[in-house]
Amino acid sequence: MKKIGIVANLKKDNALARVREIARRLEEGGAGVVFEDGLAAALDRENAAFHLETAGEGIDALVVLGGDGTLIRTFRDLKRKEIPLLGINLGGLGFLTEVPIEELGRALENLLRDRLRIEERMTLDGVCRREGREVEKFTALNDIVIGKGGLARVIKMEAFLAEEYLTAYMADGIIIATPTGSTAYSLSAQGPIVSPEAEVFLLNPICPHTLTNRPIIVGAGRKIRIVLQTAPPETGLTIDGQAGFGLMPGDEIVAGKGRDTLHLLTDPAANYYSILRSKLNWGGRSHYHC
């Protein structure tokens, strides 16, 4: 590794101290270190600043400190640049920022010695069409969510796989998730956990009014099309929980496998299932006190 960039969520506790520690370790290991522009200003190192939107091929990897939201934002702001990301978890659960702060030293040593493997994660591309016109385009790493505001009215939708009719939904909304997003909002909505190498999407209704409407897994080669029949005020589409836009009755959402791929740096000694066991406390015991 010759040049490594650092991105951090400065709202996290001790973020600046951790950044200084990481920069010191990397520079002592012989790497050049640069900082996202806002972070560089906070560190008074503007001479080593870079912009995510214009990051060039000179950066070999990015170390991202924060939670999964920070890593997703970083991936989106890179705008199709295939720079591998190493996520350091300064937040809570964190499935993408899988390195706990206690293992920081080992992760940086592996990074410097090129011992980390690159895991590829698929994305989801989509469009919103209104009256036959394309009004919005989007890319998601985790999921897109069609949901409503505070009103207690349901959304009526029809779902298709390409032109093949699937079913109608009356629900509070619907989640279209990638395998990476299966451990995000979809998991809270009783969706299944899907291994990240699977080439599939999840279609998961939120609080459906027909109890037989269950989550469905479809191959990533199929286009998912959702047509809104009714849409209460404040109905909208949210992308990875970070961006979105309003929807209207008659709008059509078409989603399929994205062009972009997340390149995630992971510890070769770990695997997805060990992370699940750790993050979800599988095999652990819960203690209740009356």
Active-site residue list: 68
- Report helix angle 15-28 to 104-112, nearest 10: 40
Alpha-carbon distance of 40 to 43, in angstroms, equals: 5
The residues, ordered by sequence, that sit 6+ positions from 137 with a Cβ below 8 Å of its Cβ are 125, 126, 127, 128
Alpha-carbon distance of 201 to 178, in angstroms, equals: 5
CB 1 within 8 A of CB 60: yes
CB 80 within 8 A of CB 263: no
Alpha-carbon distance of 125 to 253, in angstroms, equals: 11
Alpha-carbon distance of 202 to 114, in angstroms, equals: 34
End-to-end CA gap in the chain = 54
Burial class of 3 by CB neighbour count within 10 A (0 to 12, 13 to 18, 19+): middle
